[in-house]
Amino acid sequence: MRMSDLIEEFIKDLFDENEEIEIQRNELAEHFNCVPSQINYVIATRFKPSQGYYVESRRGGGGHIKIKKATNSKSDYLMYIIKNIGKEITSNEVDILISDFLSYGVIDEKEAKLLKVATSDNVLQLTKDIKDEVRARIFKNMLINLE
Residue 107, Cβ density class (10 Å: 0-12 exposed, 13-18 middle, ≥19 buried) = buried
Q: Which stretch binds a copy of itself (CB under 8 A): 14-22, 31-39, 74-82, 123-131?
A: 123-131
The pattern of x and - marking residues 28 through 67 that bind DNA according to CB under 7 A reads ------xxxxxxxx---x-----------xxxxxxxxx--
Do the Cβ atoms of 85 and 94 come closer than 8 Å? no
Q: Which of 23, 67, 94, 97 binds DNA (CB under 7 A)?
A: 23
If the CB atoms of residues 84 and 92 are measured against a copy of itself, the closer one turns out to be: 92
| DSSP assignment string, 18-86 | -SEEEE-HHHHHHHHTS-HHHHHHHHHHHS-GGGTEEEEEE-STT-EEEEEE---SS-HHHHHHHHH--
Residue 102 interacts with a copy of itself (CB under 8 A)? no
Q: How many residues bind a copy of itself (CB under 8 A)?
A: 33
If the CB atoms of residues 51 and 108 are measured against DNA, the closer one turns out to be: 51
Residue 5 interacts with a copy of itself (CB under 8 A)? yes
